[in-house]
Amino acid sequence: MIKWEGIMPAMTTKFTSDDTLDLVMFEKNIKLQIDAGVHGIILGGTLGEASTLTHEEKEILIKETLSTVEGKVPVIINIAEQSTKEAIKVAQHAEAIGADGLMILPPMRYKATDYETVTYFAEIAKSTLLPIMLYNNPIDYKIMITLDMLEELANHKNIQAVKESTRDITNIIRIKNRFGDRFKVFTGVDTLGLESLVTGADGWVAGLVCAYPAETVAIYNLVKSGRINEALEIYKWFMPLLELDVSPQLVQNIKLAEVATGIGTENVRAPRLPLQGAERERVLKVIETAMASRPTLPDYKNIYA
């Protein structure tokens, strides 16, 4: 059972300079996430460069994460497959090796109809006992999970949460108005993190948390404790960094930020390449400026649990 709330990092995958998994740095980052107070770990998403990983590498990362986390927080596996058959296979395997939950994107590389999308989600849900978060991101993946589609899926009890990345935070209110607490709602857009929490989101699937876990959890805890102004001061500082998440080069951007905080490397897997030229200098300047004015955080771990 997953308590769908709080900060859940969409983890980056760490690589060595010779393009193998860097498990030492991966473990270091996850341990810092846990120490900062995150509420779950999500593997295998866009930030994790999942489309470039082999099945063997994915399995190593899952097992490494489960071992490092030691049950302190749930480990959630992202499913972004080409076919329903393959998605079911991934879901069942994740359950078999001990994952705690799934985050599921609509069918990839095919703009499914509403009926096809609902059927896809339903078939996966019926194939596993694992709790599920649906990922609603029509901006990047061209399929909108509508309220009517959620209505059809509501009878599948293990579909429990929605990662809401439409960029329209009023959709959080629409989901809550229609379904009450039936579906927990997470924002998936870093630059709408605080606004979404204030609007009623239960949590935040975050990207820059990979480099700045304490600041991200502090914002969540402060908002949920009603200390909005204190959260806002941290959020103002954070915003130039958070804007690095809403970019096609979000992986390279966030990995540069991880280098700055000592919990990652710049290595990405081709066809991605490290940032070059003026854009690299711009991103480094954003990070350098933020690091020079990094805020002193309140005792955020003890104000909300």
| Residues labelled catalytic | 135, 163
Which is it for strands 159-164 and 184-187: parallel, antiparallel or unpaired? parallel
CA dihedral (235, 238, 244, 245) positive or negative? negative
Structure tokens at 51: 């489309």
CA dihedral (61, 66, 69, 73) positive or negative? positive
Please tell me the distance from the alpha carbon of residue 136 to that of residue 134, in angstroms, as a whole number: 6
CA dist 279 → 100, 111, 237, 244, 265 (Å): 38, 32, 21, 11, 18
- Which of 219, 245, 134 has its CA nearest to residue 185? 134
Q: How many residues does the chain have?
A: 305
Structure tokens at 164: 């809401």
CA dist 206 → 89, 95, 210, 246 (Å): 27, 24, 8, 11
Give Cα 218 distance to the centre of its chain: 17
Structure tokens at 93: 């395997």
Residues linked to residue 136 through DSSP beta bridges, in sequence order: 164
The helix or strand, by DSSP H or E, that contains position 42, with its residue range, turns out to be strand 41-43
The helix or strand, by DSSP H or E, that contains position 206, with its residue range, turns out to be strand 203-206
- State the residue for tokens 């690091």: 291
Residues linked to residue 135 through DSSP beta bridges, in sequence order: 163
